[in-house]
Amino acid sequence: MPIFEYVCRDCQHPFEAIVSASRQAKCPECQSEALDKQLSVFAVSHGSPVRSRAASQGPSACGSCGDPRGPGSCSMN
């Protein structure tokens, strides 16, 4: 079942809800069904067995100074 993010139109309370086809989301504060669905961002775990090509190549050069050791290396001693 998917988790959606909402903001209640009546009390402006932001919340997340697990929604199924047979169950309408309700605000946990005021029980209103007048909701605005929010755009949400999904997270990806770095512990995934699937690695991207960029991750397997190691760090890239620093975008500020071009240090080949990667971002933040130029400030390290």
Report the CATH number that the domain containing residue 23 is assigned in CATH.
Answer: 2.20.28
User: Does 63 have pLDDT greater than 70?
Assistant: no
Which is it for strands 14-18 and 35-37: parallel, antiparallel or unpaired? unpaired
* Assigned domain for 35 exists: yes
| Residue 3, in any domain of the structure | yes
Give residue 17's domain range. 1-41
In a domain, 65, yes or no: no
Taking the whole predicted model, whether its pTM rises above 0.75 is answered as: no
More confident residue, 60 or 12: 12
Q: How many domains does the chain have?
A: 1
Return the structure tokens found at 9: 């139109």
Tens of pLDDT, residue by residue over 2-55, are: 788 999 999 999 999 888 878 889 999 999 999 999 887 666 666 555 555 555
Q: How confident is the model at residue 60 (pLDDT cuts 50, 70, 90)?
A: low
Token digits of residue 62:
């620093």
